[in-house]
Structure 1
Amino acid sequence: MNDSWPTIVTIAALLLLILLGVTLAIGMSRSKGRHASPKRPTRSSFRPAQDDDTPLPPKKRVAVIINPTKFDDVTAARDLVTHTVLAHDDWDEPIIRETTLEDPGFGQTREALAEGVDLICAIGGDGTVRTVAHVLTGTSTPMGLIPAGTGNLMGRNLGLPLDIVGGLDVALTGRNRHIDVGWVTMDPTFEQASDEELNPENDGPTEPDVGADDTHGSDPAENQHAFLVMAGLGLDASIMHTTSEEAKARMGWGAYVASGAKNLLNARFATRLRIDGGDPISHTARTIVVGNCGRLTGGITLMPDAEVDDGILDVVAITPKGIVGWAGVAVHVLAKRGQNHPKLDRYRCQSILVSLDEPQMVEVDGDVIGKAKRVRFEVRPKALIVRTDAPVSTQV
């Protein structure tokens, strides 16, 4: 019996080794299971199941409002729009509607909204862009701006391409940007007046009265107009009024320069400005310009502080008496000096009421909208969604 103990020890040792080996194997297996990378899904797992009964997601739809007077060949322009949109796989064939003399875009834009499109583009000058923007103000439908006019100031201030293909590509693929909209009321009625105008004794400005009418997404009131770039009265409007479409087509921006030279010494007029409900400020002016953005063509900056999304309107009162005075104003503006000049006063506000002794012509984004003795300008902060993919350009 005593001679058998080596055998028993050997067997016990072997059993312990086997047990230890099994334990280590199990432990290593569990450790490997905890730290191993999960199995990568196959590429096919990312693809939707091939089921003929499952409908594909609907493509997005865009409505394009086009001003036919800006093109020598409207059919070619329409074909280019369709071809450009269909080059984007996720967009359906565009809905294209042309503006008319009777309806410059209000009705066409309203119809597109009713159809539930994902995007509405305006192809035309600043007037066409303004008209479409008027209807889209306050809605959640984004707007694409495809400049095709003489000035194209809104497109230039936003740094947008100045051609149909480039403009549509930005509109279809760009990012949404919320910008301010200027609002003009000609000879405002009691119902359209703000608290500041009705109660001038208020200590300070209140929020602008942006909900006083129901024109968002519908026809404008007869005496109310949106603007995106600038609105003005006096010389500014006279220049627009006397510049013909034929001259603009032949001379481009130079047509406005020629008209300005003819109207430069028009009679000045007495005016009173009530800034955000404050005390009236009197001027004998050549022109009053109210801007949502300040850059003109050729790199000229009339309002250095103006931004399209700052919730503020910039106002310029220009008051020279003669040619010498105008020369001083011109040098001041071309030098991009932000401070005031003896014949040029700047203001910033959310609303301004301009009162005149005699009616003056009024223009919005280059379109003359009539004459008035009282004109109210206000800002609707970030009320319009536009498509853009580039920062605001300083070279326009």
Structure 2
Amino acid sequence: MPGSYLFILNPNSGTSTGKRTSYIVDKIQAIAGKYDCEAVILFTKERGHATALVSENAGLRDWKAIVAVGGDGTINETAQPLVGTDTPVGIIPLGSGNGLARHLGIPIALEKSLIRLFTGDPITIDSATLNDIPFFCTAGIGFDAYVGHLFSKQKVRGLASYVNVSFRAYWTYKPQVLKLNGLNTNAFSISFANAGQFGNNAWVAPEANLQDGKLDICTIKPFPKWYGTSLAYQLFTKQMKASRFIDYQSAEYAVIDTETPPMIHYDGEPLQLNTTRIEVKIKPQSLRVIV
């Protein structure tokens, strides 16, 4: 139906968004015009800017949707002010991994995702918080956070760069000793999955459900180096399951205690905490998303 859509475009997302900005803007306006819709486009300038733009503009009109044009980090920033409201978030996935979009079945191609935006219907999904930081796809601690930190420093984005960083980090990373819900755990990584994948179809929690009111907690225990190839194969073929090295549990709330303040990630964004305690909570049925 006709209406006004607010687009929050991150020119630094993915591998080529900045180089294609004019083309992307023209395509947004062209497809919006075909559906008799108005497209208002704003650009982010730095980390956290999308949240500020949404907060400043959400109440100015009765938007049909506020649309994140970028990756999971852009979606995270755009969606934060919309949690608990009636305004849906739209997704045009132009990031490096696009985990949430892939889980929801939103097309990755620009034109197809725009058509889906203007013809799709809103559903309501769960969101979650890690120490009150909202996340919508996945969050975690351990190897994935370490790789996310290294990847954020790379000049070249994309899957090939991510795989290269992961491979190099794999040989030097040391698992952490921590407590998960009061139990001592020696973990290679712990992932809190609202959606099932990190991005690029790396499915850490294939059974995760965005509408079940729970998080899938995947604990990968320290494993022999030879197992790494098998683990990667399972991850990218959606075959991850409980084994002697992998443990799954479903929960609405979890606590991690560490010996030193850890590096974490939320929706792919790395963050060094200044506390040794992590609290993760689910917020059932809290965000409307156009699919």
Shared topology, TM-score over 0.5?
A: yes
Q: SS of the counterpart of 1:320? A: coil
- From 348, 369, 384, the counterpart of 2:287: 384
Identical residues among aligned pairs (%):
25
Tell me the secondary structure at the aligned position of residue 73 of structure 1. helix
Aligned equivalent of 2:135, options 203, 216, 227: 227
Instruction: State the alpha-carbon separation in 2 of the partners of residues 235 and 103 from structure 1.
Output: 25
Q: Which runs of 5+ in 1 are unaligned?
A: 1-57, 186-223, 275-279, 389-396
Confirm or deny: 8 A CA contact 1:295 1:301 kept in the other structure: yes
Q: 1:238 to 1:59 in 2, by over 3 A?
A: same
Structure-to-structure mapping, 1:1-396, within 5 angstroms: 60-69=3-12, 70-89=17-36, 91-92=37-38, 94-101=39-46, 103-116=48-61, 117-185=63-131, 224-243=132-151, 244-248=153-157, 252-264=158-170, 265-274=172-181, 280-296=182-198, 299-327=201-229, 329-330=231-232, 333=235, 339-371=241-273, 372-388=275-291
Task: Tell me how far apart the structure 1 counterparts of residues 66 and 49 of structure 2 sit (CA, whole Å).
Answer: 15
CA shift in 2, pair 1:143/1:323, >3 Å: same
In structure 2, C-alpha distance between the alignment counterparts of 1:354 and 1:182, rounded to whole Å: 15
Question: Do the aligned partners of residues 131 and 335 (structure 1) sit closer, same or farther apart at CA in structure 2, a change above 3 Å counting?
Answer: closer
Q: Does the Cα contact within 8 Å between 1:233 and 1:289 map onto a contact in 2? A: yes
SS at match of 1:72: helix
Per-residue deviation, residues 57-81 of structure 1 (Å, max 9, x unmatched): x952110000012330323322221
Mark the runs of 5 or more structure 2 residues left unpaired by the alignment.
Answer: none
**In structure 2, what is the Cα distance between the partners aligned to 1:99 and 1:245?**
20
**CA apart distance, 1:295:** 3.3
Pair 101,339 (structure 1): closer, same or farther in 2 beyond 3 Å: closer
Tell me, yes or no, if the aligned pair for 2:203 and 2:240 is still in contact at 8 Å: no
CA change 1:234–1:115 in 2 (3 A) is same
C-alpha contact 1:145 1:171 (8 A) present in aligned 2: yes
Output the amino acid matched with 1:235.
Answer: F
Instruction: Report the aligned-residue RMSD.
Output: 2.1
- Normalising by the residue count of structure 1, what TM-score does the alignment of the two structures yield? 0.67
TM-score by length of structure 2 reads 0.90
Q: Distance in 1 between matches of 2:201 and 2:264?
A: 25
Name the structure where helix makes up a greater proportion of residues.
1
CA displacement, residues 194-252 of structure 1 (integer Å, 9 cap, x when unaligned):
xxxxxxxxxxxxxxxxxxxxxxxxxxxxxx3211211111211110111135221xxx2
Q: How far does residue 125 in structure 1 lie from its aligned partner after superposition?
A: 1.0
Give the aligned residue type for 1:263: A
Q: Which residue of 2 aligns with 1:23?
A: none
Counterpart amino acid of 1:68? P
Taking a change above 3 Å as real, the CA distance of residues 322 and 167 of structure 1, as seen in their structure-2 partners, is same
Larger Rg: 1
| Rounded Cα–Cα distance in structure 1 between residues aligned with 2:53 and 2:30 | 21
CA separation of 1:339 and 1:121: change in aligned 2, threshold 3 A: closer
| 1:284-331 superposed Cα distances (whole Å, 9 cap, x missing partner) | 112111111213556543212201111110111112244135355446
